[in-house]
Structure 1
Amino acid sequence: MATGNDTLNNLMASSAAALCSRLCTHPLDTVKTRVQVANTPQHLLPTFLHLLRTGGLYRGLPIALTLSVPGLSVYLTTYDIAKEALSKQFPAHMQDDSVANHMLSAGVAEVCSGLFWTPMEVLKQKQQIETTGSRAASSTSTQQLQPVRMKTLDLAKMIYRREGFAGFYRGYFITLGVFVPYSMLYFASYEQLKQMAWARQKQRGPGATVGTNQDHETLSFMTIVGCAAVACGFAAGVSNIVDVVKTRWQTSVLTKNTELSSTRKIAEAMFQQGGLASFTRGMGARILWMVPSVTISMSTFEWLKSHGFA
C-alpha cells in the first residue's frame, strides 16, 4: 500500500523529471507549434534555424516551467495512485498489470493534470508564435494570427479582459480529446512493453534485475528509455490529427478572424486549404518533440522513484 512518503517521493521525482524534460526539449516544442499554426507547409530545419537566429527557441519557457512542473507531478502521481486504487477496488477486472487498468488510470491522470496543462498551453503557444517583425511573420506564414510581442503578464491580462477566467481554459475539452486517448495509448503500450521486458529479463536470470526485493527491482535505465520512446512515438502520431486543430484554436484567442472562432470552422478551413494532409501537419515535429520529452521525463521519474528520491 502506498504511504505518505511514497506519494512525496513520487511528487519530488516527477517534479525533477518535468524540469529536466522541459529544459531539454522546449525548443522542439516551439518548432512544433510554429509548424502546426502555419497556413502553408513548413520544413522543420528552416523553421528551427530561423528561431535559432531570432532567439525564439525558448520563447514561452517561463510559463511552461511554472505550470508544466506541477502538471507532470499531478499527472504521474495521479496515474500511480489511480492504478493502485483500481486494482484494489476491482481486483477481478482491474489488476495492476491489466491494459484496462492502465488506460483508465491514464484517463483519470489526464483529466486532473489538464487543469495545469491547458492554461500553460494557451499562454505558451501564443508566445511561441510571436514574431519580431514582418520578415519573421512572412517566414512562418502566421500573418493570419496577427501576432504581437508581449510579456506573459500582459498576455494573461488581455486574455482575462476578453474572455475572463474561462479564457485560460480555452480548449480544455478538446485538449482532453487529444491527450486522454494519447495517454491511454501511451500507458497501455508503455506498460505492455515493460512487461515484455520484464519477462525477457527474468529469462536471463535474477542477476539481470536491480535490487534484492522484488517490489523494488527495476528495469535498466536504457530499457525504460526504449519502452517510453516506442510507446510515445506510436501514441503521438495517432493523436496528432486532433492536436493540430487544438493548437490552432488555442492560439486564435487574440484574433478577431471569424474563421478561427470554433474548432469546426478551423477544421473546415484546414481541409479547404490542404485536404487531409493539413491534419498531419506538424506530425514529424510533434513526434520529434514528444519522444525525447516523454523519454527524458519517464526515465528520470522511474529512476528517481525506484531509488528513493525522498
Structure 2
Amino acid sequence: MKKSSRENVKTFIAGGVAGCVAKTTVAPFDRVKILLQAHHQHYKHLGVLSAIIAIQKREGFQGLFKGNSAQMIRIFPYAAIQFTSYEFYKPLALNTFGPGHISRLVPGALAGLTAVLFTYPLDIIRARLAFQGSDTRIYKGIIHALSCMITEDSGIRGFYRGITATIFGMVPYAGLSFYCFETLKVQLLTNAPEIFGSDNPNKENSKVLSIPAKLMCGAISGAFAQTVSYPLDVVRRKMQLAIMYPPEQQYLFRSCSSTLKYVYIKYGVVNGLYRGLTVNYMKAAPMVAVSFSTYEVMKQFLGLDTAVSR
C-alpha cells in the first residue's frame, strides 16, 4: 500500500531523530575509532579505554565529542533518508522477490546506498574535524573545513574521496543490519511473543517488540554487519583523511584497491584492516541498538504502523 505524504514525513522525522540519538550516544567511541583507524600520532599506540582517558587529558571532556556537531548535521538527513528509503524499497522488494530473505536484505542495502550518495560530503567534513587534535588543528569549524576542501582538496572531487570504499562497505553493512534486525524481530514475535513482545498501542491484537528486545536485536545486527564490512570502513577513513597525514598521501589518494593493498601490506590484518574493531564493537552494537529501537518507538509515537512483515 502506497504511503501518504504525511506518513513519509513522519517516517523521515522518526529516522532522523533515531540517527541523532544513536550517534550522540556513541560519539566518544566514534571519535576514538577514527583516531585509531587513521593512526593518529598521539593516540595510535593506545587502546580504546586508554585513548579515551588520553583525549580527556589532552583535549578535555569536550574532545570526546569533537566533530559531533558536524555529525548531527550529517546524521539527521542520512538516517532520515536511510529509513525513509528502506520503507520505500521494502514493498518493492516484496513484490519483486516475494516473502523471504532476499526481500529483507535488498531494501536495507539500497537504503544505505541512497543515504550515502546524498550525505557523503558531510561525512568527510565530520571525519576531518574529529581527526584533528587540539595541537594539530587545521580546520576552525564546519564552514572553514568546507571552504578549505573546495580550494585545497581537488574541489568538488575531494568531497567524494573514498566513496567507492564507502559504497562497497555500506551495501553489505546496511543490508545486513536491516536484514538481521527484521529477521530477529519476526522470529521473536512469531515464536515467543509473550517473552519479547508488548501490545501495539496503535493496533489492537497486535504485538511489537519490547524495548529490551529491540535493543538486543539491534546490538546483534550491528555487531554482525560491522564485522563483515569493517575493512572497507578502514579504507574509507584512510582515503578521507589522507590529506591530513602527508607521509601517506601518495599511497592513499589513488583508489580503493590501492589503499586496501597499502593498509594490508604496511599494517597487516589485525593492526590494519581490522584496526579499531574493538572500539567499533563497543560503538556499533549500542549505536544500531539505539537507532533501531528509537526508530521503532518514534514510529509508535507518531502513529505509524509497526506490524511485523515476513
Q: TM-score of the superposition, structure 2-length normalised?
A: 0.86
Distance in structure 2 (CA, Å) of the matches to 1:3 and 1:132: 48
Distance in structure 1 (CA, Å) of the matches to 2:92 and 2:39: 44
Distance in structure 2 (CA, Å) of the matches to 1:260 and 1:19: 30
Distance in structure 2 (CA, Å) of the matches to 1:228 and 1:198: 15
Q: Which residue of 2 aligns with 1:259?
A: 251
Q: Which residue of 2 aligns with 1:178?
A: 169
* Of 287, 291, 297, the match for 1:293: 287
Residue 120 of structure 1: how far off its partner (Å): 2.2
- Is 2:206 aligned against 1:222? no
Q: Which residue of 1 aligns with 2:112?
A: 110
1:94 is aligned with what amino acid?
Answer: G
Residue 148 of structure 1: how far off its partner (Å): 2.8
* Of 46, 49, 54, the match for 1:50: 54
2:252 is aligned with what amino acid?
Answer: L
Q: Tell whether the 8 Å contact from 1:67 to 1:116 is kept in structure 2 after alignment.
A: no
How many percent identity over aligned positions?
21
Q: What runs of 5+ residues in structure 2 fail to find an aligned partner?
A: 305-310
Q: Tell whether the 8 Å contact from 1:233 to 1:291 is kept in structure 2 after alignment.
A: yes
Q: Tell whether the 8 Å contact from 1:210 to 1:220 is kept in structure 2 after alignment.
A: no
Change (3 A) 1:216 1:18: farther
Q: Which residue of 1 aligns with 2:142?
A: 152
- Which structure 2 residues correspond to residues 24-39 of structure 1 after superposition, within 5 A? 24-38=25-39
1:173 is aligned with what amino acid?
Answer: T
Distance in structure 1 (CA, Å) of the matches to 2:205 and 2:15: 20
2:165 is aligned with what amino acid?
Answer: I
Residue 309 of structure 1: how far off its partner (Å): 5.6
Residue 276 of structure 1: how far off its partner (Å): 2.1
- Which structure 2 residues correspond to residues 90-129 of structure 1 after superposition, within 5 A? 90=96, 93-95=97-99, 98-129=100-131
1:179 is aligned with what amino acid?
Answer: M
| CA RMSD across the alignment | 2.4
Q: Which residue of 1 aligns with 2:182?
A: 191
- After superposition, what is the alpha-carbon deviation per residue over 1:166-186, rounded to whole angstroms, capped at 9, x for unaligned? 211222221011111111111
2:144 is aligned with what amino acid?
Answer: D
Q: Tell whether the 8 Å contact from 2:198 to 2:208 is kept in structure 1 after alignment.
A: no
Q: Tell whether the 8 Å contact from 1:13 to 1:309 is kept in structure 2 after alignment.
A: no
Q: Which residue of 2 aligns with 1:166?
A: 157
Distance in structure 2 (CA, Å) of the matches to 1:41 and 1:198: 45
Residue 208 of structure 1: how far off its partner (Å): 5.2
- Is 2:76 aligned against 1:74? no
Distance in structure 2 (CA, Å) of the matches to 1:215 and 1:188: 25
Residue 214 of structure 1: how far off its partner (Å): 6.1
Q: Tell whether the 8 Å contact from 1:12 to 1:309 is kept in structure 2 after alignment.
A: no
Q: Which residue of 2 aligns with 1:87?
A: 94
Residue 220 of structure 1: how far off its partner (Å): 1.0
Change (3 A) 1:166 1:149: closer
Residue 210 of structure 1: how far off its partner (Å): 3.1
Change (3 A) 1:86 1:217: same
The alignment covers a number of residue pairs equal to 292
1:285 is aligned with what amino acid?
Answer: V
- After superposition, what is the alpha-carbon deviation per residue over 1:148-197, rounded to whole angstroms, capped at 9, x for unaligned? 34322121111111312221122222101111111111122111111111
Q: Which residue of 2 aligns with 1:143?
A: none
Q: TM-score of the superposition, structure 1-length normalised?
A: 0.86
Give SS of 1:213's match. coil
* Of 237, 254, 261, the match for 1:268: 261
Q: Which residue of 1 aligns with 2:308?
A: none
Distance in structure 1 (CA, Å) of the matches to 2:33 and 2:250: 24
Residue 4 of structure 1: how far off its partner (Å): 2.4
Distance in structure 2 (CA, Å) of the matches to 1:212 and 1:34: 44
Q: What runs of 5+ residues in structure 1 fail to find an aligned partner?
A: 138-146
